[in-house]
């Protein structure tokens, strides 16, 4: 008597779809954050140029101080975004992740 071999469909990994959705959400969030940072940097440059062109020395000094703080915040936001990217990559490469 011949043995009947039945091909059973492979069981799907239940967490795989959730992982893929999470990766998609993370990628979209990263694009949104990068776009927001780029937009803020562009606005910052435009404001700085306008201040240099249209303000007197006293107003320029006050506004430059505020712009310098904004510039520091933008640099921090970019750094945190890069750190987040690095952590996501490490998690994906981790055998336990």
Q: Does 95 score more than 60 pLDDT?
A: no
Q: Calculate mean pLDDT across residues 46-56.
A: 92
What's the whole-number mean pLDDT along residues 14-26?
Answer: 82
Rounded to the nearest 5 percent, the helix, strand and coil shares of the chain are: 80, 0, 20
Query: Is 79 in contact with 31 (CB distance < 8 Å)?
Result: no
Where does the pLDDT of residue 82 fall: very low under 50, low under 70, confident under 90, or very high at 90 and above?
confident
Q: Domain spans of the chain?
A: 34-93
* Cβ burial, residue 7 (10 Å; 0-12/13-18/19+): exposed
Opening angle at CA 79, ends 93 and 37, nearest 5: 110
Residue pair 74/42 in contact (Cβ under 8 Å)? The answer is no
pTM for the full predicted model = 0.63
Q: Residue 46: pLDDT band by 50, 70, 90 thresholds?
A: very high
- Cα–Cα distance measured from residue 63 to residue 60, given in angstroms and rounded to the nearest whole number: 5
């Amino acid at each position: 008597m011949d043995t009947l071999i039945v091909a059973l469909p492979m069981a799907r990994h239940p967490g795989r779809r959730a992982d893929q959705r999470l990766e998609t959400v993370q990628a979209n969030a990263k694009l949104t954050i990068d776009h927001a940072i780029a937009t803020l940097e562009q606005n910052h440059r435009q404001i700085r140029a306008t201040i240099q062109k249209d303000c007197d020395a006293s107003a320029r000094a006050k506004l430059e101080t505020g712009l310098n703080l904004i510039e520091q915040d933008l640099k921090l936001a970019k750094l945190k975004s890069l750190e987040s990217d690095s952590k996501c990559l490490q998690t994906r490469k981790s055998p336990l992740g």
